[in-house]
Amino acid sequence: MTLSERLGLAVLHHLDPETAHGLSVKALRLGLGPVSGPVTTPRLRTQIAGLDLPNPVGLAAGFDKNAEVLGPLSRAGFGFVEVGAATPRPQEGNPKPRLFRLTEHQAAINRFGFNNEGMDPIAQRLAQRPRDAVIGLNLGANKDSSDRPGDFATVLAHCGPHLDFATVNVSSPNTEKLRDLQGKAALTALLGGVLAARDDLERRLPVFLKIAPDLAQGEVGDVAEVAQETGIDGIIATNTTLAREDVDERYRDTAGGLSGQPLFERSTRVLAQLSAATDGSVPLIGVGGVSSAQQAYAKIRAGASAVQLYTALVYHGLSLVPEIARGLDGLLARDGFANVADAVGTGRDEWLT
């Protein structure tokens, strides 16, 4: 981390978390960010669901909700970037305060509730996106929608021409009853509608499913079965958790989804369970608590073909991204892997005991 980045983070951490987040996006929009481009080597370059990635380290949805800083983020070292979530109509989200730092845990709790400007302005910005980057959109549903499954298909149909991939997000804990759509019958129907919308696009777009870390093992098996039956292109594991056993009791009653370091083991265990349940047939992206090359490598060895991060940037800045990519390249070389794909799932059993 550079001195300027360290000072910038120190200033931001003296502000309300949501205000700080808004300022960090504005700073990137003004050009105050990395310009190096993605880190890549033959070991790091990989494919997932037909996407060519310069490295397997991606940005999770939530940082750039409205696709405002696609250019700066594409130059920050990421192998791919996911923006959103986007809903058909604009919505304010939940009342403030709705974002909380848990500094001693290197974590955060948020209850934003899909606050975004709606799919129209987001699609306009995506139309101006950098063409040399891999960019996807997290699809959401409006809180007051009478047809939430239809909302996902609507956003995909509207924004799909400007995307490299899309993610169906039924795992946010901050929209009431949204997680009910993870049930087997509801999920099958929802994905059927989204994939039909995808098939109407001019080119075939990979569609991923993002799941919660709070599923029981039987529910993980149901998700795996639905993924295989519907032909979904991949699963992102996982979103934030409602669990609080790994944080100070001061935060036990703070509503919202917990992300960051306390989520690492829980999310990696679900990832490994999914890898085992699908026998590696469905590409997986590992999210939750990644803040080092070692943790990214652990996700890959548990079954992930790529990883994403977000909360770690709050504490380590964007310079963490190339640091993780270079560190991951070194770990792959140390263990004799010619490519990151060769390491996928090699340590899965360690997470299944």
pLDDT, tens digit (0-9, with 9 covering 90-100), for 198-209 = 999 999 999 999
For position 263, what pLDDT does the model report?
Answer: 97
**Interval 91-107 mean pLDDT:** 97
**Interval 155-160 mean pLDDT:** 98
Beta carbons of 68 and 24 less than 8 angstroms apart: no
The encoded tokens of residue 157 equal 């149909």
For domain 3-351, give its CATH number from 3.40.605.10, 3.20.20.70, 3.60.10.10, 3.90.550.10: 3.20.20.70
Placement of tokens 């490299």 in the chain:
164
Backbone angles phi, psi at 306, to 5 degrees: -155, 165
For position 252, what pLDDT does the model report?
Answer: 92
d(CA 282, CA 73): 27
Beta carbons of 29 and 72 less than 8 angstroms apart: yes
d(CA 308, CA 94): 25
Query: Is the pLDDT at 48 greater than 70, yes or no?
Result: yes
Instruction: Name every residue whose Cβ is closer than 8 Å to that of residue 185 and which is 6 or more positions away in sequence.
Output: none
User: pLDDT tens digit string along 128-154?
Assistant: 999 999 999 999 999 999 999 899 999
User: pLDDT tens digit string along 253-305?
Assistant: 999 999 999 999 999 999 999 999 999 899 999 999 999 999 999 999 999 99
Alpha-helix residue ranges (DSSP H) falling in 64-183: 70-74, 119-126, 148-159
For position 174, what pLDDT does the model report?
Answer: 64
What predicted TM-score, i.e. pTM, was given to this entire model? 0.96
Query: Is the pLDDT at 100 greater than 80, yes or no?
Result: yes
Active-site amino acid positions:
172
Query: Is the pLDDT at 340 greater than 70, yes or no?
Result: yes
User: pLDDT tens digit string along 171-218?
Assistant: 777 666 666 777 788 889 899 999 999 999 999 999 999 999 998 888
For position 178, what pLDDT does the model report?
Answer: 66
d(CA 81, CA 58): 6
Other Cβ atoms less than 10 A from the Cβ of 129: the count is 18
User: pLDDT tens digit string along 60-81?
Assistant: 999 999 999 999 999 999 999 9
Q: Report the DSSP beta bridge partners of residue 84.
A: 138
Find how far residue 52's CA is from the centre of its chain. 18
For position 184, what pLDDT does the model report?
Answer: 85
**Quick one: what percent of the chain has pLDDT higher than 90?**
86
